[in-house]
Chain A
Amino acid sequence: MLTFAVRRLVLSIPTLLFISFVIFMLLQLAPGDPMAQVPLTVPPDVKEKMRQALGLGEPPLVQYWKWLVQVFWIEPKIFIDWLTRDSWLLGWLPDTHLYNGELRVISWQTRSPVMDIVLQRIPQTLWVVGMSYVVGVLIALPIGIYSAYRQYSVFDQAGTFITMIGFSIPPFFTGPLLIVVFSVYLGWFPSIYDTTHVVRDWASFKFQLSQMIMPVMVLALQTTAQLSRYMRASMLDNLNQDYVRTARAKGLSEAVVVMVHVLRNSMIPVVTVIALGVPAIFGGAIITENVFKVNGIGQLLITALFANDLPMVMTLTFIFAFLIVLFNLIADILYGLLDPRIRYD
């Protein structure tokens, strides 16, 4: 198991390098010019110098190498510096001073380091997206369990129908629909997510809750639809097995049979599906963040794309790819840990 994990970890490095190379080369084909917004009165030689300052004069391979160094070498140094200086976890260690003012990945829009902007945006995304995923899982599991236990019952049929709807209605329709019903007609929730809001007391907490409900529900509907199908199928596979009959024959109560014996075995594939869905939800959040005006990283990607901010697009797309590779790895390892029959040799 350990060798498998190490091997997968080592293998994921060339995968990530290749993905980043593909994305970089794709972006090299971009027709846009970052100097397009510069006034025409600026003489051409000054423009050329500005271009050089942005690192655009170099051949693509050199640019790619510099990006790699910046992301994999300089940014970790800054992170370690921050850990030993400001964080409460390792702040007691002596300050490392690894970073000496080297050039970081600079956004063409704001001329500030891309990573700083990403770090500002991540909490919003994590709050909305992460919360929606947790809510989705919490709703999906009981639905899946009960529809499998009462297969073909009214509840099961209704659950199937609702999950089909969850599959079919895209978030860019459910979002506006919820806004029309709940913020325009009923006026219960605000239609725009206020990211500057700070939770101080009970009233502000209630406001935070009310502005989070709609985006969380939109995203949770998608999660619920997928996960409850998996949960139901996995429970159905296990409910007809011999060990279930044995457990019943021993005189165990129905609750123990279903919730302990069957559920534990059915959770094995579902847990990996949950892990695999985490990066997908980040991608799907792009639309939801756009609908509810949450300024998370999905919205950052869209604005960067429209502003032709290639370093930002490059770094963000790479972060998404990194998440996918990471959670694939986690899912594989979890599968091996949870199911002793799986042997990766």
Chain B
Amino acid sequence: MTDSPQDDVILAEAENAAALGALRDKVPSAPPRSKWRDVWEQFRKHKGAMIGAFFLIFITLGVLAGPWLWTLDPQKLDIRAKDMRPIYTAIWDSAAKTGWAHPLGTDQLGRDNLAQLIAGGRASMAVGWAAMVLSLVIGTGVGVISGFFKKLDGPLMRLTDLFLSLPILPLLLVAVTLFRQPLRANFGPEGGMFILIVTVVGITSWMPTARIVRGDVLAIKEREFVLAARSIGTQPFKIITRHLLPNVLSPIMVSATLGLATAIITESALSFLGVGFPSDFPTWGKMLADAVARMEDFPERVMLPGIAISLTVLGVNYLGDGLRDALDPRIRGR
């Protein structure tokens, strides 16, 4: 100890610096990792999800690029080449009517099955994606608003309960049969039906998303960073877009995959029941419905669209399963 108090301070500072230096790591032990990289690595471990994702991408690219690769018109009637079997039928039945011109055969009017499958996939995927986006937008909007603004919480949640107690499939059927004519008159037969099915599926499937998002928003709203944002005068809208939405992204993504699966199935079910797209416009559900009457002679016409629907939905469901695991931080660490 020295006499001068100033020396004490200097000494203490030197000691502090030494102590802090010892505590401080020389370099970070590992390079900083982004969250999405962690998510991706967890996601890659889920084999089913990887296969599902690849299959979904494959189907999407297939139906997008298909018309350029396989240029036959799906609606062209070729009555001479009707009722052709798929090419693989020739393996066990050499007398079957097959040909490389129509590798998956033709239907009872001579329309090419492969071209119809591609066109039908376009319709089903377009309806699925559009309806999913619509229901996500409605669901997220309702969920965020009712979680963030206390006054609107009660009415909006009552509305959600009300929608949940509506009988969905009967109402879908009612709505589609009732509004088919006016919409067809305004937007053409295909466009009108597309708008109608997307709207109806979107309006009747947003409720689970809204509930999940509301719950998450209620929890995140009370956290310190939102308080900090509010204390520096951030507008509510900015708080929602900058702080709340990025934090509820993972449940939204999971319900997006589930929504895509239900939308595809619902569209096919409507087509199957005969209230979907017009009869000359192929979709997977309509191909299946048309083929059921002749499935004893031509089982492949039921199998092909049925397998297409099932595999797509299976892929989407596995993708959702993997996403749920990958986005859950409690599972991701392990």
Binding site for B on A (CB under 8 A): 15, 18-19, 22-23, 26-27, 29-31, 164-165, 167-170, 172-173, 176-177, 179-180, 184, 279, 283-284, 286-287, 290-291, 301-302, 305-306, 313, 316-317, 320-321, 323-325, 328
Contact = CB atoms under 8 A, between A and B. Distances in A.
Contacts of A172: 268-269, 272, 285, 288-289
Contact of A31 (B181, B292, B311): B181
Chain B contact surface mostly: helix
A177 B174 contact: no
A164 B171 CA distance: 27
A30 B178 contact: yes
A301 B318 CA distance: 34
Among B170, B177, B269, B306, the one with the most A-chain Cβ atoms within 10 Å of its Cβ is B170
B56 interface: no
B310 interface: yes
Nearest to A287: B269
Contacts of A316: 170
Given A31-B181, A305-B174, A320-B170, A165 B314 contact: yes
A302 B273 contact: yes
B162 A170 contact: no
A334 B14 CA distance: 70
A164 B317 contact: yes
A328 B165 contact: yes
B163 to A, nearest CB: 10
Contacts of B181: 31
A18 B171 contact: no
Closest 3 interchain pairs by CB?
Answer: A320-B167, A173-B306, A168-B314
A173 B301 CA distance: 11
B59 interface: no
Interface residues of B, number: 44
Nearest to A320: B167
A320 B306 CA distance: 28
Contact of A179 (B161, B295, B313): B295
A305 B166 contact: no
B302 interface: yes
A22 B173 CA distance: 15
Nearest to A161: B48
B217 to A, nearest CB: 24
B296 interface: yes
A168 B178 contact: no
Chain A contact surface mostly: helix
Interface in B232-259: none
A15 B174 contact: no
A23 B172 CA distance: 11
Given A19-B162, A317-B174, A284 B272 contact: no
B165 A26 contact: no
B295 A176 contact: yes
B167 A283 contact: yes
Among A169, A179, A287, the one with the most B-chain Cβ atoms within 10 Å of its Cβ is A169
Nearest to B181: A31
Contacts of A313: 174
Contacts of B168: 283
B309 interface: yes
Contact of A306 (B165, B177, B295): B177
B299 interface: yes
Interface in B263-311: 265, 268-269, 272-273, 275, 285, 288-289, 292, 295-296, 299, 302-303, 306, 309-311
Contacts of B303: 177
A26 B174 contact: yes
B17 interface: no
Given A176-B306, A316-B170, A324 B317 contact: no
B81 to A, nearest CB: 24
A169 to B, nearest CB: 4
A26 B269 contact: no
B167 A317 contact: yes
A322 to B, nearest CB: 9
B165 A286 contact: no
A31 B166 contact: no
B177 A305 contact: yes
